[in-house]
Amino acid sequence: MRSIMKTSFAALAAASIVATAAFAEGDALTGDLNITADMSNPAPRAVIEGLVADFGALHPDLNIELTVVDRDAWKTQIRNALTANAPDVVNWYAANRMGPYVEAGLFEDVSDMYEDGSLEGLDAVKSALTIDGKQWGVPYTYYQWGVYYREDIYKELGITEPTTWEEELANCEKIVASGRVCYTIGTKFLWTAGGWFDYMNMRTNGFDFHMQLARGEVAWTDDRVRQTFANWRQLIDMGGFVEDHQSYSWQEALNFMVDGDAAAYLMGNFAVAPLREAGLTDDQIDFYQFPTIGDFPQGEDAPTDTFHIPSQATNKDNARAFLAYVTSTDVQTAINAGDALGQLPVNANASVDADEFLEQGFEMLSTNAPGGVAQFFDRDFPAEMASVGMEGLQEFMVFPDNLDDILARLEDAAERVYDK
């Protein structure tokens, strides 16, 4: 895989394909550039090593030092790394996951790069890097969430992809009447229930409201939040989900869709590979954007990985040039290809592999997610709030009559977490 990546990046470098004037002929960089990344798994490691090698080929007088650290270890090391002998570039995650480092003054404001033309094609994901009206880094990869469904079952029942909540409920009634459930889900590890809440709340109340709740600016006992749960309960009460889902992991829950006992799965694009491996063909699987409920621009879950410049970095001009390079059109196409990260380019001008699910996800996020890009419940909400919240969401799916107690507990937790 690494040799494939090197060849791909080298071709880009040889062609001098660059998205910013910083790479114009005669603007070769000199000095140092220190990069620390947690891209320790084989495919991401090949990507970051390829990026460094080919960026270095464009700037042969630039001394680049790359440090790759363990992904889990980086979660506890990053704060110290940003304060003592900080590198020039680090990778991390968007939205509230970067919030503590922005608030602590540890990430550099790079808003000018979005304003002066250094970065192009990032409008769809710009909001994920925005706090207090400023941008604090750049994205480099993300992936879509949405509804993956058994196209053959939909055809058998004479139903089509829903675009509204009324169509969704009508479809679900027909699916349940056929002896199946509408959705499989495994909430044993809680986070999948978070995905359902994200979509129900974004569709019921809009992306901005969802982010206000994530920031502690709205009470969990607010009537608008209650309406989110009321809409969600419509599916629960009609038997729309598999029983005993709290006993299954998300992978185990795939079996209900593979066996035809469930018609769909609200999940990230990483579900496609195991569905194919289990024997479903692309003629049996399809994808659609979660239907609308309220009259709001569509917001989508699309967890986004990012690069940032520490505020205490030494070589900030070189770091900015690297960020512009990583987000340029052709580099985005290369690093997100199937033989690399196998995800979606953040640059709307890039292209994706000839895979129907990647193509649909790219189209949806690039052109049909005007509400904004959310990062998923356990990234958008502070860690303690996310943990308590997902426990409550799973409980609601099993015991919906407990809603009042659940919301009261979540608001008590919010008052503590947000120091209200």
| Domain residue ranges in the chain | 2-142+303-350, 145-301+374-417
Check pLDDT > 50 for residue 13.
no
What would the pLDDT profile of 104-137 be if each residue is shown by its tens digit? 999 999 999 999 999 999 988 898 899 999 999 9
Q: Is 312 helix (H, G, I), strand (E, B) or coil?
A: coil
Q: Tell me if 2-142+303-350 shares its fold with 145-301+374-417.
A: yes
Radius of gyration of the chain (CA): 22
Tokens of 178: 């056929």
Which one-letter amino acid corresponds to residue 265?
Answer: Y
* Domain 145-301+374-417 in this protein, CATH class: alpha beta
What would the pLDDT profile of 203-242 be if each residue is shown by its tens digit? 999 999 999 999 999 999 999 999 999 999 999 999 999 9
Please work out, in degrees rounded to the nearest 5, the angle formed at the alpha carbon of residue 48 by the alpha carbons of 143 and 82: 90
What would the pLDDT profile of 279-316 be if each residue is shown by its tens digit? 999 999 999 999 999 999 999 999 999 999 999 999 99
What would the pLDDT profile of 369-387 be if each residue is shown by its tens digit? 788 889 999 989 988 999 9
Sign for the pseudo-dihedral over CA of 343, 344, 345, 349 = positive
Grade residue 8 by pLDDT with cuts at 50, 70 and 90.
very low
What would the pLDDT profile of 242-277 be if each residue is shown by its tens digit? 999 999 999 999 999 999 999 999 999 999 999 999
What is the reported pLDDT for 139?
Answer: 96
Strand intervals (E) in 88-144: 89-93, 130-131, 134-135, 138-142
Tell the residue number behind the tokens 């889990």, with chain if given: 72
Q: Half-sphere exposure of residue 207, counting CA atoms within 13 Å on the CB side?
A: 17
What CATH topology corresponds to 2-142+303-350?
D-Maltodextrin-Binding Protein; domain 2 (3.40.190)
